[in-house]
Amino acid sequence: MATIFIFHSQLDKELVYKYTTELRKHNHEVLIDDTLISSEKETAEVLMEAQRKADGTLVFLTRNSIQSVHVVSELGIAKAYEQNGKFFIPLLQREVSIPYILEKTQYIIINEENFLDTAEQIETSIRDFLSLKRKTGDDIPLNVGSTGERVKEVQNLLTQIGPSKIMADGIYGNSTVNAVTAFQKDNHLFVTGEVDQSTYETLQYFSTNKKEEKTEISQTNYWLLKINEKYNTSVKSDHALK
C-alpha cells in the first residue's frame, strides 16, 4: 500500500498512535519520528529522508502542534513535495485556526468523538491517490520536449475545459506551455507551465464535472475532492467547493 510520513507534536502521541495503528492495519508503512530517530544521524536529516521516501504526508494540526515554531516550515516542505506527486493531507482539530499557508487547501476535521470516522476518510483519500497514481503512470510531470499520448490527453483536456484551445498533436511545445500556464493561473495553482501531479489531477477533476460547477481551487488534490463529495460536512475548505 502507501508509505506515509506523519508530522505531529510529541504532545499528541496518544492521538497519533490510534491513527498509526489503524493505518498499519491496512498494510501501510508509517514513518513517524519515534521509529526513525537514532543517534547516528541528525534529526532534520532523518526526517527529510523519510519525507522523500514517503508517498505522502499526514499533518496533525492540533492545539499542541499549532504552537510549534517549526509547523510553518514543515507544512511548506510537505506542500513542496505535493508538487512532485505526493499526497498532502492536513488533519485539523476543531477550534484550531488553519495556518495561512493552508488557507486555500482542503483538510479533514478530526472527529474526536469517533476517530474511526476520520480514519475512514484518510484511508479513502489514500486509496484514491494510489488509484490515480496508477492511472497517471510515471510520465508526469510533462514539460517542453515531452511527447506521446499523455501529452495529447492533456492537450484535449485543456481544450475541453479552457480557457485555451490548442491542437492535440502530442508534442509539448510553446502553445501547450501557454495553455497550461493560463489554466494554472485561472485555478490558482502554482504557475510553472509544466503539468505536475496537482495540475493533472485538477484537469481530470474538471473534465468529469459540469463546466458550470467549475470553481477556483488551490493546490487541492483530486483524492481530497472526492472525499469532499462523500463527506461534505467533514472535509472543509476555506475556499468552498460549489
Task: Give the cell for residue 41.
Answer: 544521524
Are 119 and 161 members of one domain?
Answer: no
Residue 91: pLDDT over 90? yes
Assign residue 159 the CATH number of its domain.
1.10.101
- Of 170, 176, 177, nearest in space to 192 by CA: 177
Does 198 or 150 have the greater pLDDT score?
A: 150
Residue 210: pLDDT over 60? no
Residues sharing a CB contact under 8 Å with residue 188, sequence separation 6 or more, in sequence order: 104, 216, 217, 218
Does 227 or 202 have the greater pLDDT score?
A: 202
Are 29 and 126 members of one domain?
Answer: yes
Most confidently modeled range among 36-50, 88-102, 108-122, 153-167: 108-122
- pLDDT tens by residue, 34-76: 665 554 456 667 777 887 788 889 999 999 988 877 776 777 7
Query: For the residues 186-199, what does the mean pLDDT come to?
Result: 84
The full DSSP string for 137-179 is TT--SB-TT-BSHHHHHHHHHHHHH-S------SB--HHHHHH
Alpha-carbon distance values, 139 to 11, 25, 67, 145 (Å): 41, 31, 40, 12
Name the average pLDDT for the chain: 78
Encoded amino acid at 145, one letter: G
Least confident range from 7-11, 29-33, 111-115, 138-142: namely 138-142
Are 130 and 56 members of one domain?
Answer: yes
Residue 20's pLDDT is: 94
Task: Give the domain range for residue 191.
Answer: 149-219
Residue 214's pLDDT is: 47
Are 119 and 154 members of one domain?
Answer: no
Are 14 and 110 members of one domain?
Answer: yes
Are 165 and 202 members of one domain?
Answer: yes
Angle, alpha carbons 136-92-95 (nearest 5°): 155
Residue 219's pLDDT is: 42
Q: Distance from CA of residue 124 to its chain's centroid?
A: 13
Residue 211: pLDDT over 70? no
pTM (global) more than 0.95 = no
- DSSP letter assigned to residue 196: -
Give dist(CA 207, CA 160) in Å, integer.
7
